[in-house]
Structure 1
């Protein structure tokens, strides 16, 4: 385990749940914060994370890798992912890297080359690929229930100070440029699932910046229009991201000439509107436990490690969403349209 913040501890809990105590888990830690972060993202100061999960802890990466671990979960700030991932690959580990892969593209070709050279498995943590609402939307599109697609609108907004109540939002990775923060990269899940549904954008234009009173040095809002393709025609895909909405809001609407489908993530529902007969069909997953996304993601990764098959989101797939996000940041900074090859 590399990084034991909220997401690192979630993966740690799930690994113990899936694999029990028969495996040894070690950790490379720098800050050595002791508190346990609960599944509801509360801080329990009465428990010590290292004792709670039976960890052996190392203060430098080389010593941890000298133990020859089989797998590395890389959950430190995104600006630190690539050098750590490369060291793990060269030490013989298969790797699971939390999203995003990085805050830039530096070192990623070398990392991909090392993965191929050493025959390692690498997966990027986009758990929305396992979300039942995403899978239902994917099914609707594959069955052609919307007809010719006309446009897509996706929106995600959540008040940054409410993300991790156990820490000062101003110190977290999402608020700091040096750690790879900003709304575009921190909410990169939307770029990933839009890419998975509609393919790689040909070009995009983005407007955004730090427009609120939040005490951060990164953008807190971004509005990005992407040109994808559907059946040889342009398909406009719009994504709105922000650090400001209360309560949190997350939705995706896809419009075709035969119907409209809407994912409401907070309500765990997908609604299909049929234009021809005026009917509305809603599928609800209201009892779905959010942690199952991470469980299924981890099960998939462990199966890939065992069978050596390609993960659903390997390094190349993970780079697609990163390229989109970085292009959005470039466009917002320059005020120019960005072409994507």
Structure 2
């Protein structure tokens, strides 16, 4: 099997190592636009400096881990060449060209999967099982939060030069931390409307938002909040779902998922992820992609989910700019509510 890994930042190098681990006999083509040698590149069979050269190798599959503005054009070129694609999140930085990309997937019959890795976290998957089974009754309210201090993310580089800090590369908290929007909709269905506030709170001199606060209403009825920031000195990621019959709480730092049931008036720890290797999510994601290639189908329908996430992001931007609630049009584009 011939597999391309395009983009050799930290996530690209992780994918490169994982492909070699899962497919030890694969011919791995690494795309480095600058032709630079980076740590971990020895796992590649060959290195090319253009997508055209990579396609000329006769690829079977590709992982696109470049900056977000390149995701759609690179994925489209690969699909037209008959290559199945795993593209990193977000699907893009705007909605431009996304509908056409989805149509291209339909026309070519290729698999295109979007890498929202939290769908492969064991406690998030258990959380979804609990919601689907109705163990806390009808979900009424939801709270999602993530925060981490940007300068601590990649201490080996100047954070001001990172993709996250650069708007032209799809940076900012809204896109970089869009996992929360994706898995919120995976758990509770599409977001119908959003009131948003994007802000710059840190004195870093960056041209991207470092704090995002959303009030959301889901089509199925629940209301909730989503908070994303690049600020917190103690990393935080959590979810709380309040239902008619109880509450579910997932906390990444305590590595636990617990449930309160009104019938028993007690909390129960349902699962914990202590000792979990974080890379296992990426390995499971890769295995899902390879299984999808074999089955000619992405069982998680991550493309549709990623498109819904981008529609919410579009509505968030409009809402923050207008200072009003914005309806999320899941069949076209968001529009400011009258």
Q: TM-score, normalized by length of structure 2?
A: 0.92
Once the two structures are overlaid, the 10-residue window that deviates more, 100-109 or 208-217, is: 208-217
Partner of 2:120: 130
Partner of 2:222: 235
SS of equivalent to 2:191: coil
Distance 2:147 2:301 in 1: 24
**Mapped pair 1:218 → 2:221:** no
Please give the per-residue CA displacement for 1:130-184, whole angstroms capped at 9, x wherever unaligned: 1111112112212222123221011100011111122211111111110011101
Query: Deviation of residue 277 (structure 1)?
Result: 2.3
Once the two structures are overlaid, the 10-residue window that deviates more, 282-291 or 192-201, is: 282-291
Which runs of 5 or more structure 2 residues have no equivalent in the other structure?
A: 330-338
**Mapped pair 1:32 → 2:35:** yes
**Mapped pair 1:269 → 2:292:** no
Distance 1:138 1:294 in 2: 19
Which runs of 5 or more structure 1 residues have no equivalent in the other structure?
A: 37-48
Partner of 1:11: 15
Query: Deviation of residue 311 (structure 1)?
Result: 3.9
Counterpart contact for 2:255–2:274, Cα < 8 Å = yes
Distance 1:311 1:139 in 2: 16
Counterpart contact for 2:248–2:258, Cα < 8 Å = yes
Match of 1:23 among 19, 22, 26: 26
Distance 2:168 2:242 in 1: 38
Q: Cα 1:148–1:317, aligned 2, differ >3 Å: closer, same or farther? A: closer
Counterpart contact for 2:62–2:84, Cα < 8 Å = yes
Alignment of 1:63-102 (within 5 A): 63-102=53-92
Distance 2:138 2:112 in 1: 36
Distance 2:229 2:182 in 1: 17
Q: CA RMSD in A?
A: 1.4
Counterpart contact for 2:8–2:31, Cα < 8 Å = no
Alignment of 1:25-174 (within 5 A): 25-36=28-39, 49-50=40-41, 52-174=42-164
Distance 1:311 1:147 in 2: 26
Please give the per-residue CA displacement for 1:14-64, whole angstroms capped at 9, x wherever unaligned: 1111110x211112212334332xxxxxxxxxxxx33x2133111222122
Match of 1:278 among 260, 265, 270: 265
Distance 1:215 1:31 in 2: 28
Once the two structures are overlaid, the 10-residue window that deviates more, 122-131 or 271-280, is: 271-280
- List structure 1 segments (4+ residues) > 3 angstroms apart after TM superposition: none
Q: TM-score, normalized by length of structure 1?
A: 0.92
Query: Aligned pair count?
Result: 324
Partner of 1:44: none
